Each structure stands twice: as C-alpha cells, then as structure tokens.
A and B are shown apart, each in its own frame.
Chain A
Amino acid sequence: MSDTHAQTVPFVRDTMLPAASPPDRQSGAIRWLRENLFSGPVNTVLTILGALIIWFLVATFWDWFAHSVWNASSLSECREIIAATWGEGARGACFAVIRERWNQYVFGFYPPELYWRPTMTFGLLMVALAPVLFGASLTIRRVVLGITAIVTLAAMMWLGVPAGWLAFTAVVLAFGFLASERNIAWLLPFSIVYPLLGVWFLWGGTLWGPIFVLAGPVLGWLAWRLLGSRAPMLGVVVAALVTILFWLFLAGDAATDAQGLVPLAIEPVRSDRFGGFLLSLTIGVAGIALSLPLGIVLALARRSDMFLIKSLAVMFIEFIRGVPLIALLFVASLLLNYFLPPGTSFDIILRVIIMVTIFAAAYMAEVIRGGLAALPKGQYEAADALGLDYWKAQRLIVLPQALKISIPGIVSTFIGMFKDTTLVTFVGLYDPLKSMSDAVRANIAWKGIYWEPFIFVGAIFFLICFGMSRYSMYLERRLQRDHR
C-alpha cells in the first residue's frame, strides 16, 4: 500500500461500521403511519377527517350498543330493564327481539319440529357444492366439510332430529369426507341429484314426485336417442315435448299411484310456511345455480351467427334488463294467476325463482359476453385451426378463458341477486328484512322496535355476501395463468 497520502489524510477508517437500526422515524408503527396515513397534506387532512367520523359514530352509538338487552319478552320490558340498569333517560338496543324471534328470521313459519330439515338441506348443499366449488384444493375441502359436518350435526341434534335422519345425514357427510379425501369426482352424481333431493327435503311430501320429475328428462333422452340419429332437429323437439308432456300429464298421477304402492313420504310443508333466510337462501341458491348456465347460453346465443337465435337472445336480454325486477315479481304473483286455469296451484316460490332466474340470467349474459369479447380473436381462430367443432371450441378453449375474465362480474351479479331476494316482500312473501320485521312488529310486544332487526339481518347478509366475494377472489387467484 502506498503511503503517498499518509500525511495528507488525517484519518482513514479501516473497518466497516456495524449495521445500525434505522432511525425511529423510519421503522415500525411510526413509519407505517407516515407512509400510509400522513404522507402528505391531503392525506393528513383525510386521515384526520376519517378519524373524526369514526369517533363521531362511536361516540353517538356506543351507549346504544353498550346498553343492549338480550333477555326480555317485550319492548316495554326492555325499556324498563334499561331504565333500571342505566338510569332514567338512558337508551339502549333491545336485541331481545332477536333472541325471541330468531327462529322466524331464520326459518320463517316452517313447523318448529321440522327445523332440522332445512338445516340438513343446507348442510348437504355444502357436500353437493364441494366438487363444484372446491374441486382443486384438498385443504379447503377438509376445512369446509369438517366445519359443515360439525355445525350441521350439532344444530340438527339441538333442533331435535329423529335418529334415523341424523344417521342419514352423518352417512352422507362421512361419504362426502371420504370422497373428498380419495376422489372428489365420486361426489358429482350426488351434486346432480341434489337439487331434487333438496326440494324434497324442504317441501316434503312424497319422494316419488322428484323421482318422476327426474324420469321426464330420462324419457326425453330416450326419445332423442331413438330419433336423434335420423333427424337431429326433430329429435330435440320431440325430446323436449316428451319431457314436458310427461311432466304435465303423467308425472303427478304416476307419483300418486306409486305413493299408494310404496309409501315414501315425509311430512309436507307448504310454500306459505317458508320465510326469513330460508326463503332468501332457497331463492338465492336456486337462482344462482340456474342463472349461470342460462346466462352462458344467452351470451353464446347473442354472439351467434344465426340471425333468429341472435335476435331472440338480444330481445330477451334487452327486455329483461329494461324491466325492473319488481315488475317481474308482480307478473309472477299477479298476472300469471289470470292466465293459469283457476285452481291450479303454481307454487309462488317457484314462480319467483323463475323470475329471479331469468332476471339474473339476462345480466349474467351481458357479463359473460364481456368476457367473450375480451378474448383475443386469435383464440377463436386457434380453436378453428385445431379442427374443433363449435361446442368443443367453446367448451375447451373459449369459455374457460372468458369465464375466468368474467369472475368478478359474475359474482357481483350473484351478490346483487341474493340481496334482491328481499324484494319478494312486495308479493307477500316473508323476506327477512322487511316482511318478517313487520310481522314481528305487528305483535304489540315488539311494536316500535326498528333498528335491531335491520342490524341482525344486515349482519347475516353481509357475512354471506362477503363470503361470496372472498370466494371469487380465491377463484381468481387460483385460475391466474398469466405471469405478472
């Protein structure tokens, strides 16, 4: 080493300084605050404003929540308890109404001794959904099915289920678990028959009804097999006709006769006993399950080259989107009664499900059409170049990508539709938000109660919708194929 500079430089450091921790202002909570809340004048002002709003809300409503009463038999008793505990003039929430009427918010007027049936139905719904929604991840399936099994069985026991049905549920849940561990595809047949099974569990009556409903499409399929090879178009028409005519004229009588021969019935529950979240979930789940396939078909039809199909799809979508859902519900509840033969009881819930479904399907079609339009033209051409026919190209190349793009929109439509189920209040059905609360308020004991039911029902709606939204984000992440 040269010593040329030995006299000119008084000090040369010959060791490295040890790494020091960053200054306080640049680490930990302070740094986070500086970066996220006080990064500039605008941000600082907004932060202070936000804090003030939160403080205002808490300061205004805290005493109301803190003085909640959960144990009372009427609003006046609530008021007495609040006055006795926190002094005259204190205010407080009276959640006792939820404690006393929770069953109606959840099950409507379903016979209390049969509450276990909807519980079982929705427990098994998770099993039926597992291969569809959680087919890819064993861990998630374990968690979902495990929680479902525990909650369903515990709730059913608490609600007083007959031992036979408890065993049946346990067996199905165990089978679901087994299939989930070994091969999730085993559950698919269960998923396919589940809709009919669910209808039977909820409405009761004879099992032969669903069996003969199922027999309709089977007969139609047979007719199609017989004719389809010679005249495909006629085959489809005849198959549809056979199915519909069988449903209209034979299925009912056949079910009655079969029931006479081999009784397979559980206690029937009429549609007017449905209400609360049972009604919302029934309409919501059915609407979601039906509107997605219908929406896909409509979206494809709208992009079709065939003039008639395309114009019919455009007319249907634009008409349904141009009409408010309430108008459709009124048509379902009022107008149809004039057109149907007197005495025919076309179930009101079924009518509402149909209307909600076609309403959601029209929106769904546009969301999916957006996905289809976003797909590069090269994908369609590549499918053609591979020699795939139309349906194969759609199924293998186009739709998987288009649906992936559309996931946020699809789930938004689902969430919107689920919340729209509360509109059935206008046709005299007991939705949890308004009708059920009004019915509870119509009892003099709870007249005058206002916010508590809204908060309770709103919280449950939030949980369900938030769950759907999180699921859609999970799905987006899982299906992400591009590298960012």
Chain B
Amino acid sequence: MKKSVFLGTVAAATMIAGMGLAQEGSTLAQVKERDELNCGVNTGLVGFAAPDASGNWTGFDVAYCRALAAAVLGDPNKVRFVPTTGQTRFTALSSGEVDVLARNSTWTFSRDTDLALDFVGVNYYDGQGFMVRKDLGVTSAKELDGATICIQTGTTTELNLADYFRANNMSYTPVNIDSNAEGEQQYMAGACDAYTTDASGLAATRAAFADPENHIILPEIISKEPLGPAVRHGDNNWGDIARWTLNALIAAEEYGVTSRNIEELVRSSNNPEVQRLLGVSDELGAMIGLDAEWARRAILANGNYGEIFAANIGEQTPIGLARGLNAQWTQGGLLYAQPFR
C-alpha cells in the first residue's frame, strides 16, 4: 500500500514536470491568443517609462511597446506593462514572462550571445557622462584625477568608469549608491565631487535641481550605451516583427510620415517607399505574419520616432535632450532604418 502511494506520487510529479517541458509555440501566436502584449519596462525612469498618478504608463520605451501592440493586435492599449528591475529584467524575458523587453538596456556582446537575447535595434544612443558643480572649476573629465565620484553599483557604468580612469592613468574614490534618487541626494549633499551615469539621466537629474545653473555636464562621453528593445533567442519571426516595428517608426520620420499626415499620405503619396511602408503597395506585412496595415497602426499609436522623442524626452520637455546621435542619418545622426522592400 505504501508502495502504491509512493508510485502514485512519482507519477503525478512526472506528469506535472512533463507539462512543464512542453514546448511553447510561437510568440506571435501566443500574443494574439492572449490578445495582449506583455512588455517589460523600467519600474520608473524619467522620460523612458513612468506610471502617472492614475497608473497609466508613459515614456519613450513605453511608446515603443504601444506601437508594437498596435502593429500586432491593432490596439496600442492592449499592453500589459511588466515593471522589471535591473536584476530581474533578462530573466523575465528568457522565462517568457514578457514578450519583449523595452527597458533602456544596453546592447552588449555578452547580453546578445551569452544571455541568449536578440536586440532588435537601437532606439536610443546613450553614453556615460559626468556632472560636476560649476564652482569646482572643472571643465573636462580629464581633470577629475583624485575625485570622489558617485556611482550606481552593479551597472555597466561602474565598469566603464573604472576602465576610463585606468586608461587615463587617473585615480578616483567611488561612493557607491543604489539608485538614481540616492545619487542625486549624495551629490547635492556634497558627498561626491562628480556624479556619473548615462547622459540622458544626467540631463534629467540636472533639470530637476533647484539650481541647475550651478552644475555642468562635462563634454566627455566615456562609453557607448546603445539602448534597445530585446526579444528571446529562437523565435526569429517575432524578432522580425519587433525589429521592423522599430524600423517603421524610424523610417516614418525619415520619409516625413507623421501621425497627423499619415491618412493623407496613404491616399496621395507617390513615393514608392512610403507606399510600401504604409501597405498601399506590395504586401510586406504578410511576410512577417501580419496584415498590410501593421506599420500604419504602429505609427498612428504615438507618431513616428521623432514625434515620440519630442513628446517624451525632447527639447520641449523638462528633460530637454537634444537629438544628437539620435538624429536621422540624413541629419548627421546614427538612426538608419533598413529599406522597406
């Protein structure tokens, strides 16, 4: 009798484990069946992803999620935003908790290969910079020898800082901090001479100071931080959809397609590239398993790349970031969407 109980338990356990090993289907099919896109975002980063007083998410990364949801499901609001921390973000993606991760994550070699992620492109070219008090009299990062520097632990910025100072034969004393808010507090209290993080973050931090005019952001950018959305290895069709949704937003800006003139361009544009992008001619959507109007919906969700940039982090917002590297290639930036053909 005892034996049969034991065998029964083993059988039940095997059955449950077997269910666990059942292969998951294509992400596109899952998203369509769920009728909702699970998008991993930051738990809160100024301009990139933040919930407002009533819990609605807005931001630069959030806008990409909405565009993707609009392309796939036809409704920019069919997104569930899954807040992820720096520690949980990649596991959340590879375990299938989120379908796409748009969480200001830097595209690096090891993340792309070892962590089995596929970065589908770059939606923001960032880089690490320094902020110092003006009365310190420092005008270049090269003059920071011996400085105390506030640095967030466990990030690529920490490693970049060490690399940069070693390469320039300088020394520094790190003041380890846990979050951006704590870094600001330490910096304001004078616990460190300089505060270093991504340049976009520095700009936002400086904008929120009571006395922004007394602080300067040094001209040196000491690292490359290409931030982009990522998907899991292994589902290339889903990766294609994510990549070309981003490309559609970027290409739309290049061709002058905005959320305001898109309906008109659908009817009257005779630029063949625009016609293909908007699904007027050819059937590009069918090649990635979507309908012909997928890109039209993605652009309509929050506008093209330039509109998204301007609305969330651009110069008209309090954060006030210039386009810089994030301008179109025709404007001297790095944004370059592959042709829609």
Binding site for B on A (CB under 8 A): 75, 79, 100-101, 103-104, 108-109, 111-112, 231, 234, 237, 241, 245, 270, 272-273, 330, 333-334, 337-343, 425-428, 430, 434-435, 437-444, 447-448, 450
- Which among A270, A272, A337, A443 is the interface contact of B91 at CB below 8 angstroms? A337
* A-B residue pairs, 9 tightest by C-beta: A442-B44, A109-B55, A442-B50, A337-B95, A448-B208, A447-B208, A439-B44, A342-B24, A334-B91
20 other A-B residue contacts (CB within 8 Å) besides A273-B55, A334-B95:
A79-B210, A111-B55, A337-B95, A342-B24, A343-B96, A426-B85, A426-B87, A426-B88, A427-B85, A435-B44, A438-B43, A438-B44, A438-B181, A439-B51, A441-B180, A441-B181, A444-B207, A447-B208, A448-B209, A450-B181
- Which among A338, A339, A428 is the interface contact of B85 at CB below 8 angstroms? A428
The answer on a CB contact under 8 Å between B184 and A443 is no
Complex contacts, A339 vs chain B, CB 8 Å: 20
A241 to B181, CA, bound (A): 50
Interface hit among B63-71, B76-84, B295-303: B76-84
In the complex, what residue of chain A is closest to B317 when comparing beta carbons? A444
Give how many B residues have a beta carbon under 8 Å from the other chain's beta carbons.
49
Q: With A426-B87, A428-B88, A448-B208 known to touch, is A442 a contact of B30 (CB < 8 Å)?
A: no
The answer on a CB contact under 8 Å between B5 and A237 is yes
The answer on a CB contact under 8 Å between A439 and B54 is no
Shortest B209–chain A CB gap in Å is 7
The answer on a CB contact under 8 Å between B181 and A437 is yes
Query: B239 near A: Cβ within 8 Å?
Result: no
Over the window 152-195 of chain B, the binary record of Cβ atoms lying under 8 Å from chain A Cβ atoms (1 yes, 0 no) is: 00000000000000000000000000011100110000000000
Complex contacts, A270 vs chain B, CB 8 Å: 80
Over the window 83-124 of chain B, the binary record of Cβ atoms lying under 8 Å from chain A Cβ atoms (1 yes, 0 no) is: 111011001100111000000000000000000000000000
Query: B213 near A: Cβ within 8 Å?
Result: no
Query: B19 near A: Cβ within 8 Å?
Result: yes
The answer on a CB contact under 8 Å between B24 and A435 is no
Complex contacts, B84 vs chain A, CB 8 Å: 428
Complex contacts, B53 vs chain A, CB 8 Å: 100-101, 103-104
The answer on a CB contact under 8 Å between A428 and B95 is no
Q: With A79-B210, A442-B45, A444-B207 known to touch, is A427 a contact of B88 (CB < 8 Å)?
A: yes
- 5 pairs, A vs B, C-beta closer than 8 Å: A245-B12, A427-B88, A439-B44, A442-B43, A442-B46
Binding site for A on B (CB under 8 A): 1, 5, 8, 12, 19-20, 22, 24, 30, 42-47, 49-55, 80-85, 87-88, 91-92, 95-97, 179-181, 184-185, 204-205, 207-210, 317-319
Instruction: Give the number of A-B contacts (CB < 8 Å).
Output: 116
A340 to B17, CA, bound (A): 8
- Which among B8, B83, B205, B209 is the interface contact of A430 at CB below 8 angstroms? B83
The answer on a CB contact under 8 Å between A75 and B208 is yes
Shortest A356–chain B CB gap in Å is 17
In the complex, what residue of chain A is closest to B90 when comparing beta carbons? A334
In the complex, what residue of chain B is closest to A429 when comparing beta carbons? B83
A440 to B53, CA, bound (A): 8
A397 to B19, CA, bound (A): 48
The answer on a CB contact under 8 Å between B20 and A341 is yes
A366 to B187, CA, bound (A): 44
The answer on a CB contact under 8 Å between A435 and B46 is no
A229 to B205, CA, bound (A): 71
Q: With A438-B43, A448-B209 known to touch, is A342 a contact of B96 (CB < 8 Å)?
A: yes
Shortest A324–chain B CB gap in Å is 14
Complex contacts, A237 vs chain B, CB 8 Å: 5
Complex contacts, B45 vs chain A, CB 8 Å: 442
Complex contacts, A337 vs chain B, CB 8 Å: 91-92, 95-97
The answer on a CB contact under 8 Å between A104 and B55 is yes
Shortest A455–chain B CB gap in Å is 14
Complex contacts, A75 vs chain B, CB 8 Å: 208
Complex contacts, B184 vs chain A, CB 8 Å: 448, 450
The answer on a CB contact under 8 Å between B95 and A444 is no
A273 to B51, CA, bound (A): 11
Complex contacts, B319 vs chain A, CB 8 Å: 444
The answer on a CB contact under 8 Å between A340 and B20 is yes
Shortest B204–chain A CB gap in Å is 7
Shortest A239–chain B CB gap in Å is 12
The answer on a CB contact under 8 Å between B43 and A439 is yes
Q: With A101-B53, A337-B95, A339-B20 known to touch, is A234 a contact of B317 (CB < 8 Å)?
A: no
Complex contacts, B179 vs chain A, CB 8 Å: 434, 438
The answer on a CB contact under 8 Å between A428 and B8 is no
The answer on a CB contact under 8 Å between B83 and A428 is yes
Q: With A426-B85, A428-B85, A447-B208 known to touch, is A241 a contact of B8 (CB < 8 Å)?
A: yes
A342 to B98, CA, bound (A): 11
Complex contacts, B22 vs chain A, CB 8 Å: 341-342
The answer on a CB contact under 8 Å between B88 and A444 is no
Complex contacts, B51 vs chain A, CB 8 Å: 104, 109, 439, 442
- Which among B8, B42, B50 is the interface contact of A443 at CB below 8 angstroms? B50
In the complex, what residue of chain A is closest to B318 when comparing beta carbons? A444
A435 to B207, CA, bound (A): 22
